[in-house]
Amino acid sequence: MKTYNKIIKISSDKRFGRPCIRNTRITVSDILGWLGSGMSFEEVLNDYPELSREDIKASLMFAADRERKLQTIL
């Protein structure tokens, strides 16, 4: 079940159509980059109070789903 659909939004007029969190300009790739660089959920949430734990989890789910789709294409 794609529970991220209500959180991750893609709009051509925001961040060049990159997947963003709701009505923010924070992209899924921003969040993945922060986590990948070693930031914890708590550090991300402290730095970006407009985000929630569910937003971070939705970003991870979105990325995993996109990866699965790429694997089926190849």
pTM as predicted: 0.86
DSSP code per residue over 24-64: SS-BHHHHHHHHHTT--HHHHHHH-TT--HHHHHHHHHHHH
pLDDT in tens, 20-62: 999 899 999 999 999 999 999 999 999 999 999 999 999 999 9
CATH architecture, domain defined by 3-68:
Orthogonal Bundle (1.10)
Which helix (H) or strand (E) segment holds residue 8: the answer is strand 8-9
Residue 1: which pLDDT band, with cuts at 50, 70 and 90? very low
Q: Give the residue extent of every domain in the chain.
A: 3-68
CA dihedral 12, 30, 59, 5 (to 10 degrees): -20
Residue 74: which pLDDT band, with cuts at 50, 70 and 90? low
User: What single DSSP character describes residue 23?
Assistant: T
